[in-house]
């Protein structure tokens, strides 16, 4: 099948990128002072002042909030909810966007799994081994492609050390942690070691966790072995996972070259069915290198490559049901030019190339999408112009995407075919320092996303959604116009932030009901007009600031999503949330108590279940001390103190298996972390 766009469109689409590249190349004729290397945090330049909305979790905050999935760990950050398919499979939802509209990265590179394909598929990045998690939106997102229209979650670890942490004499550092949680008899541990000197670094890590069925406030029937029982547990929610990595880096005078090998295994119950379990394995090889201080033209050149082999098998009791496999490579090249004087300010930026290859196959009775091959290449640029009153940013990206259906032997439902696309995306941003304590930001982007293989070629029953899903091989690019405006204020420990946003889609690819009376109901991927409007607010008030410090943190978010073709609400949208946390600290002690109030979600499509509002309380306590002369952190956290029965509006289970998987009940988590 021919490309969805005339070829000449791709030529004209390159013009904005070419303009940014030419602006970057002005640096080639100018001198600039050598600047130290900066680790990317929030945008490709690693600058402290963010134009785009961004959040991060690290240190004690990440340790206390850490759950068994990435989605549940990040849920509750401004604008972030989760897909919640039980305690073992949960992806982040950002501003109402999920699936392939959220890019999940590992150290800025691709993280390949099948979690976007189906809600019951787990993410392969475990919070236990994570050093920091960044959640970002805005023009910096363009460097990761049109699929990141909703946002980017970047999971950062130290498997490839990027800086020399030890002097010439060498050294070793690390952390050892363990925890136990009552809500499901969950226990886990992690060990991370780093060693080396100023010329090389080595890294080793390992983790393991295990859980029984998760506790809930109400009794539910469970038939895992043909015998029906009733218990206050999420049936078939037990899990066991383990993983680890070995990595190393050689440091040069002006850069580094490193590599890592990692593996991750997870066996868990798919809670939608009492006897279905998933056995998952992912192996990943990563290479990364950077050269800095390359003269008057380039500040640095960075390259990243990863190879991932992923597979999981779905079992029905002891019988093999369906095997899913995907493998792929990701290559990313970035060149950052030296800052130059231009347009009355200091211009800093990067240009880059990215190449991706992904092969997918599914074999079994419940395979609902054919084997496929996806090839993607892209050129992108991102520039920031620092001015006296603030800064401006601009980003652009042009991709070439080819999606092929390879069919499936013996299954006439899967036909062969091929589509080619040329998605183009542009963005502008601005930050205005109104006063020393007050900033205003704004971002505007035009994004295009190529349909995924399953959106084009799916044709079969999907058990996780309890529906027959049918793709449309004639789908066009998904297009959106996105705008957000924000304000930030800070005076010492007092701070406040407000973001308003709107996403308008002219071809939002959605799974729409076409034959609800069939068994199972039939749904087809369809392009429609859609609008997402919302706000995110957060702040902190310092109530005491002497030996005892007392802070009140406040947050709120809301998204209204509508099919503007019909006027109906869109499905799986989190309701309005308002939260408050009171935090106290004194010397080695810290404590907190918090509450999140979720409103009723009655804005749902016709025929779908509404969700009641609920309130969840939590409390935490931690103490820093020495153990055997080494820094030690002891911590405890209680979630859902009131043992409230609650259901997630953003979970497909609320519609496909009502009452099957409420949110977890009361759980006490205690743990320690030893640093050395």
Which residues have CB under 8 Å from 316's CB, separation 6+? 273, 275, 276
> 467-470 and 522-545 as β-strands: parallel, antiparallel, unpaired?
parallel
Task: Respond yes or no on whether the N-terminal peptide bond of residue 61 is cis (omega within 30° of 0).
Answer: no
DSSP bridge pairs for 580: 554, 595
In this prediction, residue 636 carries a pLDDT of 97
Helix, strand, coil in percent for the chain, rounding step 5: 10, 60, 35
Where residue 29 falls among pLDDT bands split at 50, 70, 90? very low
In this prediction, residue 138 carries a pLDDT of 60
Letter string b/e over residues 433-447, b meaning 16 or more CB atoms within 10 A of that residue's CB: eeeeeebebbbbbeb
Q: How many residues does the chain have?
A: 676
Q: What whole-number distance in Å separates Cα of residue 504 and Cα of residue 478? A: 11
In the chain, where the domains are located: 7-675
In this prediction, residue 1 carries a pLDDT of 44
The helices-and-strands tally (H runs, E runs) of the chain is 5, 36
Half-sphere exposure of 495 (CA within 13 A, CB side): 9
Q: What whole-number distance in Å separates Cα of residue 447 and Cα of residue 146? A: 6
Where residue 43 falls among pLDDT bands split at 50, 70, 90? low
Please report which residue ranges of 327-471 form alpha helices under DSSP H: 453-457
Among 337, 301, 391, smallest CA distance to 48 is for: 391
H or E segment and range at residue 15: helix 7-25
DSSP bridge pairs for 353: 333, 379
In this prediction, residue 516 carries a pLDDT of 80
> Span 179-196, mean pLDDT?
97
In this prediction, residue 139 carries a pLDDT of 55
Q: What whole-number distance in Å separates Cα of residue 18 and Cα of residue 444? A: 20
Helix (H, G, I), strand (E, B) or coil at 71: helix
Q: What is the mean pLDDT of the chain?
A: 90
**CATH fold of 7-675:** Maltoporin; Chain A (2.40.170)
pLDDT above 70: percentage of residues in the chain:
92
In this prediction, residue 143 carries a pLDDT of 83
Where residue 19 falls among pLDDT bands split at 50, 70, 90? very low
- pLDDT over threshold 70, residue 33: no
> Span 68-82, mean pLDDT?
95
Sign of CA dihedral 26, 27, 32, 37: positive
> Span 207-217, mean pLDDT?
97
In this prediction, residue 120 carries a pLDDT of 93
Strands (E), 161-228: 171-181, 186-196, 200-211, 215-222
Better-predicted residue by pLDDT, 642 or 318: 642
CA 261 vs CA 167, 201, 306, 368: distances in Å: 25, 15, 10, 32
H or E segment and range at residue 56: strand 54-58
- pLDDT over threshold 60, residue 530: yes
> Span 175-188, mean pLDDT?
97
Where residue 467 falls among pLDDT bands split at 50, 70, 90? confident
Contact 75/82 with Cβ under 8 angstroms?
A: yes
In this prediction, residue 589 carries a pLDDT of 97
Q: What whole-number distance in Å separates Cα of residue 362 and Cα of residue 366? A: 9
- pLDDT over threshold 50, residue 663: yes
CA 45 vs CA 253, 343, 511, 535: distances in Å: 21, 19, 37, 27
Burial class, 226, CB count within 10 angstroms (exposed 0-12 / middle 13-18 / buried 19+): exposed
Better-predicted residue by pLDDT, 54 or 391: 391
Q: What whole-number distance in Å separates Cα of residue 662 and Cα of residue 643? A: 11
In this prediction, residue 28 carries a pLDDT of 38
Q: What whole-number distance in Å separates Cα of residue 473 and Cα of residue 404? A: 10
Q: What whole-number distance in Å separates Cα of residue 56 and Cα of residue 133? A: 5
Q: What is the Cα 595 distance to its own chain's centre?
A: 24
> Span 452-456, mean pLDDT?
96
In this prediction, residue 11 carries a pLDDT of 36
CA 51 vs CA 47, 153, 299, 394: distances in Å: 10, 17, 22, 11
- pLDDT over threshold 90, residue 44: no
DSSP bridge pairs for 551: 542, 583
595-626 pLDDT, tens digit per residue, is 999 999 999 998 888 999 999 999 999 999 99
Q: What whole-number distance in Å separates Cα of residue 150 and Cα of residue 136? A: 9
Where residue 550 falls among pLDDT bands split at 50, 70, 90? very high
In this prediction, residue 30 carries a pLDDT of 37
Where residue 84 falls among pLDDT bands split at 50, 70, 90? very high
Contact 80/102 with Cβ under 8 angstroms?
A: no
> 151-156 and 102-106 as β-strands: parallel, antiparallel, unpaired?
parallel
Considering 9-18, 489-498, 508-517, the range whose residues carry the highest mean pLDDT is: 489-498
In this prediction, residue 45 carries a pLDDT of 76
- The conformation of residue 6, written as its DSSP 8-state character, comes to -
Among 243, 167, 242, 164, smallest CA distance to 202 is for: 164
- pLDDT over threshold 80, residue 81: yes
DSSP bridge pairs for 435: 438
Burial class, 189, CB count within 10 angstroms (exposed 0-12 / middle 13-18 / buried 19+): middle
Contact 338/298 with Cβ under 8 angstroms?
A: yes
Where residue 140 falls among pLDDT bands split at 50, 70, 90? low
- pLDDT over threshold 80, residue 22: no
| Rg of the chain on CA atoms, in Å | 25
Q: What is the Cα 480 distance to its own chain's centre?
A: 20
- pLDDT over threshold 90, residue 577: yes
Provide the 10 A C-beta neighbour count for residue 181.
23
Q: What whole-number distance in Å separates Cα of residue 192 and Cα of residue 178? A: 12
Where residue 298 falls among pLDDT bands split at 50, 70, 90? very high
309-351 pLDDT, tens digit per residue, is 999 999 988 889 899 999 999 999 999 999 999 999 999 999 9
In this prediction, residue 54 carries a pLDDT of 86
Better-predicted residue by pLDDT, 400 or 511: 400
> Given the structure tokens 């541990």, which residue do they identify?
189
Q: What whole-number distance in Å separates Cα of residue 600 and Cα of residue 611? A: 6
> Span 27-47, mean pLDDT?
45
362-377 pLDDT, tens digit per residue, is 998 778 999 999 999 9
Where residue 512 falls among pLDDT bands split at 50, 70, 90? confident
In this prediction, residue 103 carries a pLDDT of 92
Where residue 37 falls among pLDDT bands split at 50, 70, 90? very low
Q: What whole-number distance in Å separates Cα of residue 103 and Cα of residue 53? A: 16
pLDDT above 90: percentage of residues in the chain:
78
364 sits in the region (left: phi over 0; alpha: psi -120 to 50; else beta) called: left
Better-predicted residue by pLDDT, 318 or 179: 179
In this prediction, residue 225 carries a pLDDT of 79
Predicted model pTM: 0.91
Which residues have CB under 8 Å from 515's CB, separation 6+? 521, 522
Considering 109-113, 188-192, 294-298, the range whose residues carry the highest mean pLDDT is: 188-192
Q: What is the Cα 503 distance to its own chain's centre?
A: 19
In this prediction, residue 17 carries a pLDDT of 43
* DSSP assignment of 199-212: SEEEEEEEEEEEE-
3-state DSSP of 397-438:
EEEEEEEEEEECCCCCCCCEEEEEECCEEEEEEEEEEEECCE
Among 247, 350, 366, smallest CA distance to 300 is for: 350
């Amino acid at each position: 099948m021919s490309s969805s766009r005339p070829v000449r469109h791709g030529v004209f689409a390159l013009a904005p990128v070419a303009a940014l590249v030419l602006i970057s190349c002005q640096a080639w004729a100018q001198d600039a002072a050598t600047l130290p290397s900066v680790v990317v945090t929030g945008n490709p330049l690693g600058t402290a002042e963010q134009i785009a909305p961004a959040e991060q979790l690290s240190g004690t905050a990440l340790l206390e909030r850490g759950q068994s999935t990435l989605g549940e760990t990040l849920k509750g950050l401004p604008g972030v909810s989760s897909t919640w398919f039980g305690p073992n499979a949960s992806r982040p939802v950002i501003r109402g966007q999920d699936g392939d509209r959220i890019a999940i990265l590992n150290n800025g590179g691709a993280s390949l799994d099948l979690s976007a394909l189906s809600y019951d598929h787990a993410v392969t990045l475990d919070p236990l081994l994570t050093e920091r998690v960044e959640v970002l939106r805005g023009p910096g997102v363009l460097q990761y492609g049109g699929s990141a229209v909703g946002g980017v979650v970047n999971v950062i670890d130290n498997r490839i050390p990027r800086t020399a942490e030890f002097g010439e004499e060498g050294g070793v550092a690390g952390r050892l942690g363990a925890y136990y949680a009552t809500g499901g008899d969950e226990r886990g541990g992690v060990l991370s070691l780093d060693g080396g000197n100023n010329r090389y670094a080595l890294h080793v890590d390992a983790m393991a966790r295990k859980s029984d069925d998760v506790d809930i406030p109400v009794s539910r029937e469970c038939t895992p072995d043909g015998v029906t029982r009733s218990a206050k547990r999420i049936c078939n929610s037990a899990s066991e996972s383990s993983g680890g990595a070995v990595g190393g880096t050689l440091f040069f005078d002006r850069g580094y070259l490193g590599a890592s090998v990692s593996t991750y295994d997870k066996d868990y119950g798919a809670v939608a069915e009492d006897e279905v379990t998933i056995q998952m394995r992912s192996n990943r090889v990563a290479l990364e290198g950077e050269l800095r201080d390359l003269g008057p033209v380039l500040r640095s050149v960075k390259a990243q490559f990863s190879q991932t082999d992923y597979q999981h098998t779905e079992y029905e009791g002891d019988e093999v049901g369906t095997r899913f496999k995907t493998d792929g490579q990701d290559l990313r090249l970035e060149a950052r030019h030296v800052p130059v004087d231009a347009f009355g300010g200091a211009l800093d930026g990067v240009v880059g190339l990215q190449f991706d290859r992904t092969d997918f196959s599914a074999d079994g009775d419940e395979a609902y999408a054919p084997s496929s091959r996806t090839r993607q290449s892209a050129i992108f640029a991102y520039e920031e112009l620092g001015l006296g009153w603030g800064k401006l940013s601009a980003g652009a990206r042009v991709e070439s995407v080819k999606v092929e259906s390879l069919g499936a032997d013996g299954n006439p439902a899967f036909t062969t075919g091929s589509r080619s696309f040329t998605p183009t995306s542009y963005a502008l941003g601005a930050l205005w320092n109104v006063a020393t304590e007050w900033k205003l930001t704004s971002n505007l982007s035009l994004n295009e996303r190529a349909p995924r293989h399953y959106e084009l070629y799916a044709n079969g029953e999907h058990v996780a959604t309890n529906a027959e899903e049918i793709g449309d091989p004639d789908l066009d690019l998904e297009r959106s116009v996105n705008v957000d405006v924000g304000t930030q204020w800070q005076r010492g420990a007092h701070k406040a932030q407000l973001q308003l946003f709107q996403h308008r889609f002219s071809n939002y690819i959605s799974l729409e009901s076409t034959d609800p009376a069939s068994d199972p109901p039939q749904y087809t991927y369809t392009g429609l007009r859609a609008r997402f409007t919302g706000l995110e607010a957060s702040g902190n008030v310092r109530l005491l600031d002497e030996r005892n410090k007392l802070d009140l943190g406040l947050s709120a978010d809301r998204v209204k999503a509508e099919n503007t073709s019909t006027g109906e609400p869109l499905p799986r949208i989190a309701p309005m949330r308002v939260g408050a946390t009171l935090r106290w600290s004194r010397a080695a002690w810290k404590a907190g108590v918090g509450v999140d109030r979720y409103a009723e979600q009655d804005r749902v499509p016709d025929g779908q279940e509404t969700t009641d509002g609920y309130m969840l309380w939590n409390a935490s306590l931690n103490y820093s001390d020495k153990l055997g002369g080494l820094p030690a952190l002891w911590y405890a956290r209680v979630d859902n103190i009131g043992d409230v029965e609650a259901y997630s509006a953003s979970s497909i289970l609320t519609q496909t298996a009502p009452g099957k998987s409420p949110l977890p009940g009361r759980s006490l988590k205690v743990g320690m972390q030893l640093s050395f």
